[in-house]
Amino acid sequence: MPEEIIESLNVRYINILNENGDVDESLMPSLSQSEIKKIYELLILSRTFDRYALNLQREGRIGTYASILGQEASQIGSAFAIEKSDWVFPSFREMGVYITLGYPVYMLFQYWSGDERGMQTPEGLNIFPLCVPVGTQVPHAVGAAMAAKYKGDKIAVICYFGDGGTSKGDFHEGFNMAGVFKLPVVFICQNNQWAISVPRSRQTASKTLAQKAFAYGFEGIQVDGNDVFAVYKVVREALDKAKDGGGPTFIECVTYRMGDHTTADDASRYRSKDEVEAWRSKDPIARLKLFMEKNMLWTDEYQKEIEGKAKDMNDEAVKMAESVEKQHFEEMFKYTYERLTFRQIKEMKDF
């Protein structure tokens, strides 16, 4: 019997904007100057939100918080490609996605302060509440994509998760269903190199996370997750493909979590300063700023103006979040089951 190669797979890697602010014009997506400035302003707004949230947590005004510092391009670049009719299933570290899609900022502060009403998605936004359990949102997103396909809706479903999520059973079951039924779903993994304290190298023997998609019959693409243009382009194309009946795509955004896993973590106990500093030079906002400066889209005055707006928006959002009428403790018990159990009634009396 002859020996032959029956399958050969290649993982594409996309980078458009480098650390010096230069772009590969042949790959540059079609974005107007105003759209580029809008993306930059969303990056600044999201980073400002992140700084506010960290400070509020240190002051005891919100609870445990998961920083997005360093991952803004993966979030804003991908969310900027999403249309209003699409459906989004986030994990717990997608504040930049929420902000880009127009989610009220005060409700995000409200949620992180422990008030679940902050995740009551306003009418007109197709984004699910953030998912804290790792990877469990993958089957949910696949189910929504299957429903969309049955109904004939020309939409796509977007599912976010981290590198740790790719080692979960939910990930593999969801990918299998998406591949078998050729569903309109785009999976976006923010590979920030660390699943809490477990490095990427100890989590999987795969050379890339993107290549895992090929086992389920669809393409996996790796993209520079700190390059907002590359992320936007790849996600935009994947969404178009999904809506045209081309099935799912898995996008691995290679980025880095500059902060701790959450405010309950101390990353200095398991990673080196040199590693963090090496990634600091790849900052997503700095490289876009360089590009805009070279293309006459950025000035000192513009920077001061948008930083001031971002600060004002966050100041107002914090005021609104902290002025919302507090929930009564009974709310914790009322909506778990159709009616209160005897144990819940006793717990309420003892509270």
* 3-state DSSP of the chain: CCCCCCCCCCCEEECCECCCCCECCCCCCCCCHHHHHHHHHHHHHHHHHHHHHHHHHHCCCCCCCCCCCCCHHHHHHHHCCCCCCCEEECCCCCHHHHHHCCCCHHHHHHHHCCCHHHHCCCCCCCECCCCCCCCCHHHHHHHHHHHHHHHCCCCCEEEEEEHHHHHCHHHHHHHHHHHHCCCCEEEEEEECCEECCEEHHHHCCCCCCHHHHHHHCCEEEEEECCCHHHHHHHHHHHHHHHHCCCCCEEEEEECCCCCCCCCCCCHHHCCCHHHHHHHHCCCHHHHHHHHHHHCCCCCHHHHHHHHHHHHHHHHHHHHHHHHCCCCCCCHHHHCCCCCCCHHHHHHHHHC
| Per-residue pLDDT reduced to its tens digit, 108-136 | 999 999 999 999 999 999 999 999 999 99
* CATH code: domain of residue 83: 3.40.50.970
- In 3D space, the residue among 238, 68, 19, 231 whose CA is nearest the CA of residue 145 turns out to be 238
Distances (CA, A) of 22 to 13, 41, 227, 291, 294: 17, 19, 11, 6, 9
- Domains in the chain, number: 1
Q: In this structure, is residue 230 part of a structural domain?
A: yes
State yes or no: is 343 an active-site residue: no
Which residue is catalytic, options 47, 93, 236, 257?
257
Which residue is catalytic, options 47, 236, 261, 287?
261
Tens-of-pLDDT digits for all 351 residues of the chain? 789 999 999 999 999 999 999 999 999 999 999 999 999 999 999 999 999 999 999 999 999 999 999 999 999 999 999 999 999 999 999 999 999 999 999 999 999 999 999 999 999 999 999 999 999 999 999 999 999 999 999 999 999 999 999 999 999 999 999 999 999 999 999 999 999 999 999 999 999 999 999 999 999 999 999 999 999 999 999 999 999 999 999 999 999 999 999 999 999 999 999 999 999 999 999 999 999 999 999 999 999 999 999 999 999 999 999 999 988 888 888 878 889 999 999 988 888
Which residue is catalytic, options 51, 270, 337, 339?
270
State yes or no: is 52 an active-site residue: no
Q: In this structure, is residue 4 part of a structural domain?
A: no
Q: In this structure, is residue 332 part of a structural domain?
A: yes
Q: In this structure, is residue 81 part of a structural domain?
A: yes
Q: In this structure, is residue 1 part of a structural domain?
A: no
Instruction: Give me the residue label for tokens 């955004």.
Output: 253
The mean predicted confidence, pLDDT, of the chain is 96
State yes or no: is 172 an active-site residue: no
Rounded CA separation 233/160 (Å): 17
- In 3D space, the residue among 167, 257, 146 whose CA is nearest the CA of residue 212 turns out to be 167
Q: In this structure, is residue 2 part of a structural domain?
A: no
Rounded CA separation 320/298 (Å): 32
Give the structural domain span for 161: 10-348
